[in-house]
Structure formats: structure tokens, C-alpha cells
Amino acid sequence: MKIEVNIEPELEQLFKTIGLTDEEIDNEYEKINIKVQNLFSKILADISDEVSSLTEKVENVENELISFHKKIGNEDSLNIDTTQNLKYRYDYATNTLANLKKDSRKQISNYDNLFVAMTRLFNILEIEDRRSFGNRGEDCSQERIDQTAQLVDTMTEIVTARNAEMDELMLDLEELHELLKMDPPVRPKTLSDKAFQEVQQQRDQLDSLYEELIAIKKRNLQQIRQAEKIFEKEPADFDESECVNQEELDILSNYLNELEAEKSTQIPEFIEKIKHQIEDLWDVLNMRIPYEDDFPEFYSQEETPEVLQALENEACRLENIKDQTVQIRKLLVQRDRIINDSKKKPSKALSISQIVANGKKMTVDLPILNGQLQPLLQEYLDNNGGPFLWGGKDLLPVVSDPKNKMLEKVNTIPKRYVSKQTSPAKQSSPSKLSSSRSPASSKQGTPKKK
């Protein structure tokens, strides 16, 4: 309904009733016109404000709709018809935005979870330069999700690999802490290059410290046990494990000093006993007696601390070889027994089965022993810088070369035993091992001839 107002007749009557002149009536009409114009202006202004407000609301919701489409990477599918009235546009944009948010909730949640995981991985690796992934941003498009997921996968692989590396480092560090009798180490909270460098530095420092301390401990213990053996003392109760710390070394050092002080008063007796000990070790190790030029202290008639020290050093060296070669010597004794048995002349008292058994030892057992000896002798050579000599011979080339495995002659069964089998007889014991010994030089080797 349009505005239709005609009040002139009523106004004319009222003006006449009042008794206004024509001039006064014109003035009144002028005032009324001004009031009407002001009223219409206000009405128009109010309606215009309402239109502006609705326009702003429409633009805001449409802009939000546009931004959300960009956020999820779907802007190409958006179509806003600006020719429609404001109310239609507002309702359309509002409803479309609500439905879009509902449909995109899972996509946005997926991106949020990926961003949280990515941030956690960045923090674990202590990566400061994160480029466009430093902030969450508004882009939740599928392209952005794919990029983030790929980055998360890559960093997860890196973290997994670094975790494994850190596990190995921490195992080394924990072992060193245990060996050095220290409290357990604290694992770094991150897997950055800096964290790895710090742990590796700790490990290397403690490893060097441990090697230094354990060498001192073993040397002190060896000297203590050596002195106790010479003094025929009951071994003192010390921890002989691979663990060590400075406090333990101080205790060992103090006890060793006591023994050294006591030893200094009995140098002649000590020298004599150590010489016997060295001779026993030569026997055990099947070593040749060295010439005087190779080991003058052993033949020296002087009874000085210097001679005693040289003898002690050699005794310790031989004890170390003895400890290192327990399995080697066991196998070599078996090997010598087989070879010595094979060289004996068959006795009429031996049965055919016994002769065959001896031959089997050479053809089967000896190659097996050689195969067992080869890695042990090679390991000794690698660790000591020289071969292990048995009766003055380096057997590593012999046991390593397949052509030399059967150099020893295998006894055959004489024809006379084929037709006539004798009764079993007690076999003679294996011939005694050669008593020849190798020189007590810095390494096992062949005696230096005069």
C-alpha cells in the first residue's frame, strides 16, 4: 500500500476557524512542508541504514563462504548470484556455509591432526626453519593435506631411524655407565643433530676413560696376583669384573704399594720364584727356551730391581698369552696327539679296527681340528701383531692351506694283518710333547741364533 495523505481541506477549515489571514496561512503551510520533508528524510535514512546493514551482513557471509571454499580448496565450485535481492543472497550464503562446514568437518579435523603430528616431529628434530609449515594457516585444502601428510611420513621415517641410532648410542652409554659404576644416563628429549653430538661426545669420553681405567685395573690386579703367588699369600678379595672406577683403583694401588714395599726387601727370592714361574709358562705354552741374547735378564746373575721388573713383565706377558690361548692350546694338543699316533709303527697287537681308527683320525679328525684352529690362530695374529708359535712353529699357514691339511702320511694296513687279526692290546700312551720352547721376546718368534 502506497502513502496517500490529503489533509488540505481539514487544514483550511482549521485555519479559518482560527481566523488566520491568507499570509499567515501560507506561513503555516511552509512550516508544515518543512516538517513533512524532515519526516520523509528520516524515514528514507532509516530504510537506507537498514539496507546498508543487510548489505554488510550479506557481504560478510558471502566473503566467509568464499574464504571457506578457498580454505578447503573448493573455490572453483562456488557461484554467487549478485543480481538476487539481499535477503535471498543472505539466506543462500548462510545455508550454504553451514552445510559446507558440516561436510568439511572431517577434512579440517584430518588437517588439524596432521599439523599437530608435524609440529611434534619438528620439535623432536629441533627444526627451527619450518617455512610455510611453521603456522597452521587457513589452508585446509586436500593439496595442503597431501603435502602435510607427505612431510609427516618423511619426518616419521627420519625419527624412526634416529630413534634406532639413539637406542644404540644409549645402550653404549648405559653399558659404560654401568662399567664405570655411574648412575644411569639420561636420554635426550630430542633427536636433533645437537643431541646426537652431545651423546656421542659423552660416549667417546667415557669410552676413553674406561679403557684407561680398566687397563690400570687389569695391570694392577695382574701385578697383585703375581706378587701374591710369589709370596704364597691368600688372594685378596677384589672385584675382578670388567667394572671399574677411581675409588676402586685407589684401593688396588694402595694394596699394590704395600706388596711392592714388601717385595723390595726380598728381591733375590722373588727373582728365583719368577724364573721358575716363567719356565712353567714356557712348558704350558710349548715355547722354546730363548737364547741369552734374546732374554738376558733370565740368565743374569744380578739381583736388582731392574732385573726383577723385566722378569715380572715377561711373566705377565706369558700369563696373558696363556689366558688368550686356552682353546688354541687344547686343540693343538689334540692335533699333536693325532699326528704322533699316526707316526707310530703298527704293532702286531693292534687290531685292524684300531689301525683303521688311527687312519680315520688323520683323514677326518685332523682336517676338522685344522678348520677349528684356523680362525683362532688368525684372531691371535690380528690381535697381537705376531703369530702364535707352537714348538717354535707358526702353524697358521699349515691349517689355512687345504693342500697342507693332509701332508702327514696316513698309515696303511699291512697286508699281513688282513689274513690274521691279532688280539687287542693296550696302546702305548701318546708321545710326550716336545719340550722345546720359543723365545721370550716381545712377540712369539723363532730363537735368534748366535
Residue 222 lies in a domain: yes
Residue 436 lies in a domain: no
Q: Which of 149, 170, 205 is the last residue of a domain?
A: 205
Number of domains in the chain: 4
User: Residue 348's closest CA among 422, 418, 430?
Assistant: 422
Q: Which of 324, 351, 368 is the last residue of a domain?
A: 324
3-state secondary structure of 189: coil
Whether residue 301 sits in one domain with residue 273: yes
Residue 450 lies in a domain: no
Residue 112 lies in a domain: no
Whether residue 134 sits in one domain with residue 98: no
Whether residue 246 sits in one domain with residue 172: no
- Looking at residues 255-267, what average pLDDT do you find? 89
Residue 2 lies in a domain: no
Q: Tell me how far apart the alpha carbons of residues 359 and 365 are, in angstroms, rounded to a whole number.
A: 9
Residue 365 lies in a domain: yes
Residue 426 pLDDT? 32
Q: What is the pTM of this model?
A: 0.55
Whether residue 319 sits in one domain with residue 213: yes
Range from 30-34, 349-353, 384-388, 441-445 carrying the lowest mean pLDDT: 441-445
Q: Which segments of 258-392 are extended strands (E)?
A: 389-390
Residue 439 lies in a domain: no
Whether residue 126 sits in one domain with residue 92: no
- Looking at residues 265-290, what average pLDDT do you find? 88
pLDDT in tens, 360-419: 666 777 888 888 888 999 998 888 888 888 888 888 898 887 765 544 433 333 333 333
Whether residue 341 sits in one domain with residue 310: no
Q: Which residues contact 281 (CB under 8 A, 6 or more apart)?
A: 287, 315, 318, 319, 322
Structural domain boundaries enclosing 20 = 8-103
Whether residue 257 sits in one domain with residue 193: no
Whether residue 182 sits in one domain with residue 271: no
- Exposed/middle/buried for 177, CB within 10 Å: 0-12, 13-18, 19+? middle
Residue 445 lies in a domain: no
pLDDT in tens, 53-93: 999 988 898 888 888 777 777 666 677 788 888 888 888 88
Residue pair 148/121 in contact by the 8 Å Cβ criterion = no
Whether residue 213 sits in one domain with residue 199: no
Whether residue 23 sits in one domain with residue 90: yes
Residue 11 pLDDT? 87
Residue 413 pLDDT? 35
Q: Which of 75, 103, 131 is the last residue of a domain?
A: 103
Q: Which helix (H) or strand (E) holds 48?
A: helix 22-71
Q: Tell me how far apart the alpha carbons of residues 424 and 427 are, in angstroms, rounded to a whole number.
A: 9
Q: Tell me how far apart the alpha carbons of residues 388 and 279 are, in angstroms, rounded to a whole number.
A: 18
3-state secondary structure of 393: strand
